[in-house]
Amino acid sequence: MGFCPADQGGGKEAVLEPLKDHLKDYEQLMVQYYGAGVQACYRGPRLYDTDSTKRTVIKVIDWYKKYRNILNSEIIHLRRADGRDWDGLLHVNPRLKTKGLLMLYNPLKQKITRTVKIPLYYAGLTTTASLREKGGAARVYQLDREYAVSYTCTLQPESYGWVTIE
pLDDT reading at 51 higher than 50: yes
More confident residue, 24 or 6: 24
The model scores a pTM over 0.75? yes
pLDDT reading at 7 higher than 70: no
Per-residue pLDDT reduced to its tens digit, 138-165? 999 999 999 999 999 999 999 999 999 9
Give the pLDDT score at 1.
43
Q: Which of 104, 145, 97, 150 is nearest to 124 (CA)?
A: 97
pLDDT reading at 125 higher than 60: yes
Give the pLDDT score at 103.
97
Confidence class for position 12, pLDDT limits 50, 70, 90 = low
Per-residue pLDDT reduced to its tens digit, 18-38? 787 877 888 888 888 888 888
Give the pLDDT score at 139.
97
Task: Report which DSSP code applies to 22.
Answer: G
**74-165 has CATH 3.30.300.30 classification:** no
Sorted by where each begins, the domain ranges of the chain are 2-66, 74-165
> What does DSSP say about strands 100-106 and 159-165: parallel, antiparallel, or unpaired?
antiparallel
Distances from the Cα of 108 to the Cαs of 4, 81, 119, 160, in angstroms? 22, 12, 24, 11
Give the pLDDT score at 109.
96
More confident residue, 41 or 123: 123
pLDDT reading at 95 higher than 60: yes
The pLDDT mean for the chain works out to: 89
Confidence class for position 49, pLDDT limits 50, 70, 90 = confident
